Amino acid sequence: MKLLFVIQDSHGWAGTERVTNLIANGLSDRYEIEVLSLSERPSCEKGYLYKASIVRSYIPIHQGVLGLFSINTKTARHISRGAYDVVVISGVGEIKFLLVAILFCRTKFVAWEHFNAAYTHRRVNRKVAARFCDAIVVLTRADADDWQLYLHPRGHIVRIPNPLATIPRQPSLLTTTRVLALGRLEEQKRFDLLIDAFVLMHAKYPDWTLRIRGTGSKEAELKNRVKELGLENAIEILPAVEDVASEYQVASIYALSSKFEGFPMTLIEAMAFGIPCVSFDCPNGPSEIIAQGEDGFLVPYGDVTALAGALAKLAQEPTLRMQMGRKAREHIKRFDQEHVSALWEDFLAKLCQE
């Protein structure tokens, strides 16, 4: 079987690039894989490492109506010549660059949703995917329900969660007094609510600290809020780092305060390090990852007091932290790369038999 993954930029460092890399590598021993970037080839190698057998190709995007027409023509020609069995569009937003190919190329097209249909279903790209793609791959059961409810796709809706690259040999010792949160400093992540919750927790447990790592448009606003609270020594807002493992190793609680998610990989990664997680029960993902009261806590979205209470409970009870951390590390094995790759293999085999 010959597969083509289409992605905005295979050399990026974000979540979409990471999971595309993991799945492409995981399938490469069985299938002929190519990854097409809708971007210029970089002057130096960067991004996640692909196996040597995987072909990398590039068609850069040009702005404007003529640019859109040009790239549609080029991608259609590329797909026609490649004679792929399946084209996986990694990120539904890229479908606008593949319209000609979808209409005229005789291959199966799969839209791989990395976000949340409840918040994105009004976008034209989702409606196009629902109308023309042969299948939609989503990350959660809730998102599968939302695609059916809002978009009624003609093709199958298949739930395949994102994979965990590895389960680290050495878990966090959970002996520090640090709460960790990772993510873009944008409205969606609602780090302002996490800071408010931490303020309540810190009043009871002043030796605990909060470290937020990320960059984004809310950085100045969040830092000003910390300064106003006089908690510069307790709350750190630092740039994102490539080596996130070093952050997980020295954290004892992981917190997620998002308004919505597609599938929060940071929860899975933290749990792989044996860290109990506290999260808003936002759509979609946390409730399908955290087992409430067993390996972490879910609280209603926006309930700052409940978020603070869950953080405080874990801060107060180190034995509970350890117990939840061990269960988290065990439960997360259902997301290992081998298992998730097998789900993709089964899905692709059935798709090509139709």
Mean of pLDDT values over 41-66: 91
Does residue 100 surpass a pLDDT of 90? Answer: yes
When pLDDT is cut at 50, 70 and 90, the band that residue 242 belongs to is: confident
Compute the distance between CA of residue 348 and CA of residue 158 in angstroms, rounded to an integer: 11
- Helix/strand/coil for 124: helix
- The number of CA neighbours under 13 Å toward the Cβ of 141 is 4
Does residue 44 surpass a pLDDT of 90? Answer: no
Provide CB contacts within 8 A for 285, sequence distance 6+: 139, 140, 142, 261, 262, 263, 264, 267
Compute the distance between CA of residue 20 and CA of residue 7 in angstroms, rounded to an integer: 8
Does residue 63 surpass a pLDDT of 90? Answer: no
Q: What is the pLDDT of residue 166?
A: 86
Strands (DSSP E) found in 72-222? 86-90, 108-112, 135-138, 156-159, 178-182, 209-213
| Identical topology for domains 2-163+336-353 and 178-334 | yes
Question: What are the tens digits of pLDDT across the range 126-164?
Answer: 999 999 999 999 999 999 999 999 999 999 999 999 999
Pairing mode, strands 156-159 and 135-138 = parallel
Domain 2-163+336-353 superfamily per CATH: Glycogen Phosphorylase B; (3.40.50.2000)
Does residue 241 surpass a pLDDT of 90? Answer: no
Of 44-58, 101-115, 122-136, minimum mean pLDDT range: 44-58
Cis-peptide, bond into residue 25, ω within 30° of zero: no
Q: What is the pLDDT of residue 303?
A: 98
Q: What is the pLDDT of residue 298?
A: 98
Angle (nearest 5°) at CA 56 between 60 and 59: 15
Mean of pLDDT values over 64-88: 96
When pLDDT is cut at 50, 70 and 90, the band that residue 257 belongs to is: very high
> What is the share, in percent, of the chain residues with pLDDT greater than 90?
90
Other C-beta atoms lying within 10 Å of the C-beta of residue 59: 18
Q: What is the pLDDT of residue 51?
A: 96
Residues 331/291, Cβ–Cβ less than 8 Å = yes
When pLDDT is cut at 50, 70 and 90, the band that residue 258 belongs to is: very high
Sketch the domain layout of the chain as residue ranges: 2-163+336-353, 178-334
Question: What are the tens digits of pLDDT across the range 163-189?
Answer: 998 899 999 999 999 999 999 999 999
- H helix or E strand, kind and range, residue 198: helix 191-204
When pLDDT is cut at 50, 70 and 90, the band that residue 119 belongs to is: confident
Question: What are the tens digits of pLDDT across the range 281-291?
Answer: 999 999 999 99
Q: What is the pLDDT of residue 54?
A: 97
In CATH, the number for domain 178-334 is 3.40.50.2000
Q: What is the pLDDT of residue 13?
A: 80
Mean of pLDDT values over 27-46: 92
Question: What are the tens digits of pLDDT across the range 262-288?
Answer: 889 899 999 999 999 999 999 999 999
**Mean model confidence pLDDT for the chain:** 95
Strands (DSSP E) found in 160-252? 178-182, 209-213, 235-238
Does residue 113 surpass a pLDDT of 90? Answer: yes
Q: What is the pLDDT of residue 118?
A: 87
User: 42 or 257, which is more confident?
Assistant: 257
